[in-house]
Structure 1
């Protein structure tokens, strides 16, 4: 090894090769910087070994403090991967400090022996760069000097900076079936490329990043739309949702309703379905749909023809149905005749809901439920006020505390899931998922049987937004904690294996990724939009219910490493590598939240659908039978369903007090449902 002074040269850019960026943001190319073109202190350029790239390599002097310094450029600030290609033909480790802009970023990085001086290895280190020019120095920390250094490959930092929140939206022009939505521009370090426009949690459309307004068409007259705007940059980073604006379309100039539909008939009645036919209605403009109803509850909307097969009916139950016609202006005809029938007897396998009664009232958005190990009481969370209650089997409830650091999102965020440690009697641990200032967290608290205490963050970095926060927690038969996370209104995150969003996560009780996870991180499954319900069946398999966007809601059987499709697929599709759901529903019939399994039957609570779905699993196969619905429209928005330990019973909660239900605080209830 030589003992020369400083050789100074300008750094040259060589071959660019692909490198996956760290964290969120786009993938970046790695730029190779040859060591022989860098600033060298107490070393020399050599060519006396083989396998190097460029015109040579740097042979460090055998002294402490010898270094090679590179000048590198970064398009913007962030974390970058530095890969140093080296050879060490001795048995002695030759550690080096890696410094950025004069400060040690990675001390005493090990460069152990390679097979010989002609065998090259790569050591990768993450460093933080500033935007613009940076110096990167590799300095020997022992008298043995550094290894032979061939080159440094630098990955350009990923763009992880999200655009700013768009300004408050407004509706400067409103018509009968359209409105113009305007908003204040967002800013971004690399530029806003698009704005996504949402009505509640469903994306209506988008506008280019240069726009601050867009006209939405195909709307219903005299209808209020709850609108927000989210900015997006080229890397896929999304802003927080804008403030909300409620805009109401004008009443239609068409005030003439369609005529009464013709005679309604019901034929081929089974235990879960009936064939309906009726005579057509007429309108001065056009009939656009028929609604099959029971009272004011719509069971099905038919847009083509005058017949349908109504499925999902509860067995051995009476039905009284009529049909009304609608036109594009929202005018509704008088109802036609009422048809009455009773579905056939129930199959005995798995049982059916036989009774429902109010267990407890006075709640405001009860969201998560988890039974204590004694099976006599459960902990229940309230989403928007962050309170935690103990609720007993006889309906007595007692507040046991609140979860600190929780915040709302004026949408679906707040205090969400709860899970009691299966070993609670020895450790007194309870786990929560909640929205915080920086995002969504999984945290742990202690519960002494009367009061919550302590607070420990186990997992952060789960992005939040107004909607699509996931939030369900459940312990599996393996003693590990399963966590559902939404894609935070940033669909591409669902397909990113390095993102915590749009996933089912599996973790240990001390906050680490569970051993055996398919990708070596927290991710258990991916491709989820807004996963909600989680339940294990009698064979230990995990089932999950998931909100769709505008087409299909899903019931999935979760397998480790499987991809459930979003945003490529919504519902069933034929894309290679995507796993199809076991059952789907139109979003108006479901919008599912919690699920529970009793006697090999999945029960799924539905929000927009305002019903409890019963979905039998066919033995221990991966097939499910015909879904049927109970309590349609009777109790409003159903949020969480939980099996009662040791009994064929369910607890079922409403969330009619949320921003979609609009009921007064204290209007929600917890019901007890018996299965027989």
Structure 2
């Protein structure tokens, strides 16, 4: 098996029989400890409580001159933490003050699409002050947690790395579990290998262990058959949506169900149900999207498009989608991360300094679109 965490994946495999026997009792006990989400809470890069649809007119520029901003997580005071992919710095940003470096993650080896990627705050951040990061190290991709005044603790490692397809988005779900989108790291067969954590969505406890009620006991894998997942978001009903980079034909938005197989590399786009794969909700030509971050506010899914250089808005209704509409086409270049702040504002990061875009004056930027 290729997946390991700091306590060793082999111990999880050895413990499968015990896990199965104790699962019912353990899950019941675990459920009682999980936070109960508010029905109005919508989670993307960080939990949020939107008050209305964001106004996608003229935005407020929160920060500029940021080096490849990737992960974004909101602090309780309304400011945000932003991860710079290549420098491994974490900046605190907010309206009215210059970006301030508050941490630099050690051991990050940035190359190609790898580096310091997703950020997430612990659901109990006010009590434990833990920040979680997904990053590329010397030999693999891994997830660590840390406080701003201390060293990182690696929770899960052994996610294969490559120049491309490292995944990298992490987010806590309404169930209090940590979800991570991984890529196939350039080896497409990994996506269909249940023993590999690449090309998957993982579901972990806050300590980095496979969640007890995952589809396969002892495994961190929540869904499989993914090429490169960089967007995770939940709607008000607790349904998980994910953004998927296609290869040559179709990018996807998928509704994620535990244990489902989303088809890569056997299929790209629609037309796979007869082979036992789950269909995407909607697709785009890769030139129009290349979707990275996603977020949900109210009944709208927002998709940040890199190659497409636009923001897609997708109506949601009972887990289905309406006709997507694009806005901001070409206005700010490549878009990496979109997130809904606790006050309902939509925050958006550009990604023109990543080696694939054309930097504009003051790039890269963090923009804020206020809630109506």
Partner of 1:126: none
Q: 2:154 aligns with which of 457, 470, 475?
A: 457
Q: Which has the higher contact order (CA 8 A, sep 6+)?
A: 2
Give me the TM-score of the superposition, normalised by structure 2.
Answer: 0.83
Partner of 1:558: 256
Partner of 2:12: none
1:368 aligns with 2:71: yes
Contact 2:182 2:197 in 1 (8 A): yes
Shift of 1:356: 2.0
Matches within 5 A, 1:602-641: 602-618=301-317, 621-641=318-338
SS in 2 for 1:492: helix
Flag the 1:393–1:535 CA change in 2: closer, same or farther, 3 A: farther
Partner of 1:538: 236
Shift of 1:357: 2.8
Contiguous gaps of at least 5 residues in structure 2? 4-51
* Aligned-partner Cα distance in 2 for 1:367–1:394: 21
SS in 2 for 1:389: strand
Shift of 1:666: 5.8
* Aligned-partner Cα distance in 2 for 1:598–1:616: 10
Partner of 1:416: 117
Partner of 2:224: 526
Q: Which of the two has higher C-alpha Rg? A: 1
Flag the 1:394–1:601 CA change in 2: closer, same or farther, 3 A: farther
Partner of 2:107: 405
* Aligned-partner Cα distance in 2 for 1:527–1:599: 29
1:146-190 CA distances to partner (integer Å, 9 max, x unpaired)? xxxxxxxxxxxxxxxxxxxxxxxxxxxxxxxxxxxxxxxxxxxxx
Matches within 5 A, 1:157-236: none
Partner of 2:85: 383
* Aligned-partner Cα distance in 2 for 1:662–1:463: 29
Give me the TM-score of the superposition, normalised by structure 1.
Answer: 0.46
Contact 2:184 2:226 in 1 (8 A): yes
Contact 1:366 1:380 in 2 (8 A): yes
SS in 1 for 2:263: coil
Flag the 1:623–1:664 CA change in 2: closer, same or farther, 3 A: closer
1:503 aligns with 2:200: yes
Contact 1:364 1:666 in 2 (8 A): no
Shift of 1:513: 0.5
Contact 1:355 1:675 in 2 (8 A): no
Q: 1:441 aligns with which of 139, 142, 148?
A: 142
Contact 1:548 1:554 in 2 (8 A): yes
Contact 2:239 2:255 in 1 (8 A): yes
Contact 1:354 1:674 in 2 (8 A): no
Shift of 1:546: 1.1
SS in 2 for 1:617: strand
The structure with more strand, counted as a fraction of residues? 1
The structure with more helix, counted as a fraction of residues? 2
Contiguous gaps of at least 5 residues in structure 1? 1-21, 25-348
Flag the 1:352–1:397 CA change in 2: closer, same or farther, 3 A: closer
Q: 1:486 aligns with which of 183, 188, 191?
A: 183
1:659 aligns with 2:362: no
Partner of 2:279: 580
Shift of 1:518: 0.3
Flag the 1:400–1:350 CA change in 2: closer, same or farther, 3 A: closer
Flag the 1:459–1:23 CA change in 2: closer, same or farther, 3 A: closer
Flag the 1:375–1:528 CA change in 2: closer, same or farther, 3 A: farther
Shift of 1:375: 4.5
Partner of 1:51: none
1:549 aligns with 2:247: yes
Flag the 1:395–1:547 CA change in 2: closer, same or farther, 3 A: farther
Partner of 1:571: 269
